[in-house]
Structure 1
Amino acid sequence: MNDPLQQRPHDVPPTEPPPRKGSSPLIWILILVALVALGWYVLNQRSAESPATVPPAPVIGDGTAPVVEPEPTRPAVTPTTRPTAPADREARPLTQQPPVYPPAAVRTREEGTVTLLVQVDAEGRPGEITVETRSRSRDLDRAAIDAVRGWTFEPALRNGVAAASAVRVPVDFKLDDGSGTPPRAR
């Protein structure tokens, strides 16, 4: 019964509690950044709300301030405004990277104009692009489509709200006139 190898529950040495985990330095850095941002915000709000400074009143030679009569107040005049209908407009290109003139078309001296029909979404991004009028060169048609795919547009407005629409985009491919200037596409 009294076996030295056997220990009783009250003879078991207490186990040490697991070591306490410290806070990550990242958390402290984030808290510090948040406090700095909050302080910056509060200071900017205070400076925006500070009242305009009133210049000191002029002093007459005897040390008294002159009496200044306030200007008579005028009734506020509100201009009559007519409700205007929001303007409607079609989509139009904002950023236009010119197409790259295909080397094969340069070698075969192909020129032409491609007219594309571009579906522009309400955010101004081109969607489906179809060739409305071909240039008689598949290389030129493909180059025009590839270029317009990277353009951004100002979306169309309908009743003052951006809306999806379609826009026609002509792209001209013209070789140089013998003056040594490189071919250009517009």
Structure 2
Amino acid sequence: MRRLFRFITPALAGLLTLTGVAGHARAAAPERLGEFYGQRLAWSRCGDGYECGKLSVPLDYKHPEGDRIGLSMARLPATGRKIGSIVLNFGGPGASGVDTLLQSKDIVSPAIREHFDVVSFDPRGVGGSAPIHCMKSLDLDSYFTLDPTPDTASEVKRQEKVGQSICKNRAPSGRERNCSPMWARSRSPATWTSCAPLSVTSG
């Protein structure tokens, strides 16, 4: 994991503000995002002292009135008088913050836990947050047989062919999309990285 603590998406930042220190001024929500910043999560117990819930966010922050997805959330409630929340992003790519937090009750000190809820989440496309299932078994087999360092015209052409096939087969509504950061190893970025995993600009 590249970084242990990284702060976070706009909607999560709003959630953190809502659960922050009493009496502090609440930051104004960006235009057209007020309902996302103002939401209250319905937390439910999910074992061993944890609580879980879903946070609604826009699929595309440029078009918040459009489709929405739910981000899976988990929190470890403060053990004493709560004065705020700490939201953790454990890094990745592809790491489930929920699973990591559920296995890391001692991730912060008892002194911090006394006064702060410890919260984490599954980034979009991961775990319980609108997960992306990109490749069929045969597509995955084809991908893993590729030369990771193509240095001949035929190897590069095979990279392009497999990439085009996977994007075409997995793209919704005829749109191309890159389902995995693994495409970065291709030597044909015009073919492989022209796709986008989810139409988003943040979160």
TM-score (norm 1): 0.21
Q: Which has the larger radius of gyration?
A: 1
TM-score (norm 2): 0.20
Higher strand share: 1
